[in-house]
């Protein structure tokens, strides 16, 4: 069985010179799904897959660094691939997308998701937990066969892995928001520090932790070291182009 995640972009809040905003390609034997579509992710996506082979798009929340490539993907599927494609996202994201493409045709078959949603895409099962973030933000858990992957999406330290439909089964790989370092924890930033991400993952029994959404200018080695000290084992950092097997 093949089940893997490729990092298209992982820069937090805005792109760096070398790293687009958030976007991840989740692939298995039976489906290829774009998870978040931040600005700049369409180019790397095309290096990984023929766009006509994309099965669905899942958007975690309405902040622009996580979905603003969608109107460009509209052009792709409306005029070039020429087929419809399912999109799963929050009601607020749907409204913002509609505001941009008002009155225009759409290739998107939109399904509004919430923390109770249970979605099947090919051989992948997607369920969602409410993240600790200012807008409705849904962190997905994806199960394929006996393997599991969780993305916290953007979240502050109130994130709880068990919030995903009350599931407390083992998590093989977690991709966690770790936007800043412990020194900034008292600033009210609605994102986790590397330490906080590691503590949540350790408490949930996550088997493999990958940090993402580091803001431009961050030192990945510093984030990794801080997380490893709290996690008690090796931690990785999501960099564009890397693929992680689940």
Chain Cα centroid distance, residue 122: 18
User: Considering the domain boundaries, does residue 2 fall inside one?
Assistant: no
pLDDT at 91 (0 to 100): 98
User: Considering the domain boundaries, does residue 3 fall inside one?
Assistant: no
User: Considering the domain boundaries, does residue 167 fall inside one?
Assistant: yes
Sign of CA dihedral 65, 199, 134, 26: positive
**Separation between Cα atoms, residue 105 and residue 99, nearest integer Å:** 13
User: Considering the domain boundaries, does residue 107 fall inside one?
Assistant: yes
User: Considering the domain boundaries, does residue 188 fall inside one?
Assistant: yes
Query: Which tokens sit at 169?
Result: 């089964």
Domain span including residue 128: 8-245
59-89 in b/e form (b: 16+ CB < 10 A) is: bbbbbebbbbbbeebbebbbeebeeebbbbb
Q: How many residues are recorded in the chain?
A: 246
Count the helix, strand and coil residues of the chain and give each as a percent rounded to the nearest 5.
Answer: 25, 30, 45
Give the chain's domain count. Answer: 1
pLDDT at 51 (0 to 100): 98
User: Considering the domain boundaries, does residue 1 fall inside one?
Assistant: no
Identify the bridge partners of residue 173 per DSSP, sorted by sequence position. Answer: 149
Tokens 């931690």 belong to residue: 235
Q: How wide is the angle at C-alpha 68 spanned by C-alphas 190 and 173, nearest 5°?
A: 55
pLDDT at 3 (0 to 100): 98
pLDDT (tens digit, 0 to 9) for every residue of the chain, 246 residues total? 899 999 999 999 999 999 999 999 999 999 999 999 999 999 999 999 999 999 999 999 999 999 999 999 999 999 999 999 999 999 999 999 999 988 889 999 999 999 999 999 999 999 999 999 999 999 999 999 999 999 999 999 999 999 887 777 889 999 999 999 999 999 999 999 999 999 999 999 999 999 999 999 999 999 999 999 999 999 999 999 999 999
Here the CATH number for the domain that contains residue 172 is 3.60.15.10
User: Considering the domain boundaries, does residue 127 fall inside one?
Assistant: yes
User: Considering the domain boundaries, does residue 100 fall inside one?
Assistant: yes
pLDDT at 164 (0 to 100): 85
């Amino acid at each position: 069985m093949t089940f893997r995640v490729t990092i298209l972009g992982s820069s937090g809040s805005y792109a760096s010179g070398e790293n687009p905003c958030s976007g991840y390609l989740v692939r298995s034997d039976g489906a290829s799904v774009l998870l978040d579509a931040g600005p700049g992710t369409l180019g790397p996506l095309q290096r990984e897959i023929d766009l006509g082979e994309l099965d669905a798009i899942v958007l975690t929340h309405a902040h622009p660094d996580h979905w603003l490539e969608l109107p460009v993907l509209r052009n792709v599927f409306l005029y070039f691939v020429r087929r419809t494609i399912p999109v799963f996202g929050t009601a607020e994201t749907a409204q913002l997308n509609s505001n941009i493409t008002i009155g225009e045709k759409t290739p998107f078959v939109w399904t509004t998701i919430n923390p109770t949603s249970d979605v099947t895409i090919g051989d992948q099962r997607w369920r969602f937990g409410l993240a600790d973030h200012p807008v409705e933000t849904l962190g997905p858990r994806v199960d394929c066969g006996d393997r599991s992957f969780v993305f916290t999406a953007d979240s502050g330290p109130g994130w709880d892995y068990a919030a995903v439909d009350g599931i407390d089964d083992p998590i093989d790989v977690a991709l966690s928001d770790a936007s800043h370092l412990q020194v900034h924890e008292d600033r009210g930033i609605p994102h986790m520090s590397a330490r906080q991400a590691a503590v949540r993952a350790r408490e949930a029994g996550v088997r493999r932790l990958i940090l993402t959404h580091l803001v431009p200018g961050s030192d990945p080695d510093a984030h990794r070291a801080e997380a490893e000290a709290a996690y008690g084992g090796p931690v990785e950092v999501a960099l564009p182009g890397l693929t992680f097997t689940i």
